[in-house]
């Protein structure tokens, strides 16, 4: 479906690479004024080279106060995409260290809470009917080996979605999650090429028989930001090729 974001202003976190970069570019093409946040200046520089209208913000979202200070300087927004996050699959559950768990939660969960608080308060004060989309994962819905901190962070993200949706609904601010299975980003492709991930294993679990393309997760995010989803809030929008709907694809 066509998306028209002319006159809208949206912040995308984790916008230097992968899904966040794809969302930032798609929003820019649809007419939105885009603020792109990443901790890595070089990836933002290349994004701006590709889309000169995008406004870069270099910030480490693990720095709670520094992040708030930078976001307070931004104008009132119409949308926020909490996409920033990292993987965390280095330890079995019984051996996962406390500091490692805290590091993943800081990056994947607390950062989204922090950004949502600042952006939503400004929306409320300006009486803007906005939308927040949290990039969660099918890892919030089902466990996989060595996934304790990552999966807990994404399960927490889903509850953050519900809580903010409940409390922001009276202000006509919608909050939803997208819960994607494996997406073919440059990072994922490099992991597949190195043998760290098996594309065949993931594809074999999906009735659709393949992993997601970048566009197949970008479009659902834009839908949830747009007026096409005007009465959709507090929802976990699973985009997984049917992976979570089955025990096994073949008997």
Q: Are 40 and 60 in contact (CB under 8 A)?
A: no
154 is catalytic: yes
| Catalytic annotation, pick one of 129, 154, 171, 250 | 154
Axis crossing angle, helix 18-29 with helix 186-194, rounded to the nearest 10:
150
Q: Are 17 and 87 in contact (CB under 8 A)?
A: no
Q: Which phi and psi angles does 202 have, rounded to 5°?
A: -65, -45
| Catalytic annotation, pick one of 150, 162, 171, 223 | 150
DSSP class of residue 76? P
Q: Are 237 and 226 in contact (CB under 8 A)?
A: no
Q: Are 39 and 107 in contact (CB under 8 A)?
A: no
DSSP-assigned letters across all residues of 210-228? SPBPSHHHHHHHHHHHSGG
- How far apart are alpha carbons 170 and 183 in whole angstroms? 34
Catalytic positions are: 150, 154
């Amino acid at each position: 479906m066509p998306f028209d974001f002319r006159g809208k202003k949206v912040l995308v976190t984790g916008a230097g690479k992968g899904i966040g970069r794809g969302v930032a570019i798609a929003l820019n093409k649809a007419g939105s004024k885009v603020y792109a946040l990443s901790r890595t200046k070089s990836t933002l520089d290349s994004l701006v080279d590709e889309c000169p209208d995008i406004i870069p913000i270099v910030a480490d979202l693990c720095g709670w106060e520094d992040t708030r200070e930078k976001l307070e300087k931004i104008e009132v927004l119409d949308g926020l995409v909490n996409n920033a996050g990292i993987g965390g699959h280095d330890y079995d559950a019984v051996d996962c260290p406390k500091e490692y768990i805290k590091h993943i939660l800081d990056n994947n969960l607390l950062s989204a809470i922090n950004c949502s608080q600042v952006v939503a308060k400004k929306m409320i004060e300006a009486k803007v009917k906005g939308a927040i989309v949290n990039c969660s994962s099918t890892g919030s819905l089902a466990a996989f080996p060595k996934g304790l901190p990552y999966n807990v962070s994404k399960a927490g993200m889903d509850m953050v979605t519900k809580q903010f949706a409940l409390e922001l609904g009276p202000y006509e601010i919608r909050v939803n999650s997208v819960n994607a299975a494996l997406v073919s980003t440059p990072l994922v492709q490099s992991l597949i090429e190195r043998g760290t991930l098996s594309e065949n294993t993931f594809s074999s679990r999906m009735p659709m028989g393949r992993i997601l393309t970048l566009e197949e997760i970008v479009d659902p995010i834009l839908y949830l930001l747009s007026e096409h989803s005007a009465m959709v809030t507090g929802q976990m929008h699973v985009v997984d090729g049917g992976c979570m709907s089955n025990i096994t694809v073949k008997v």
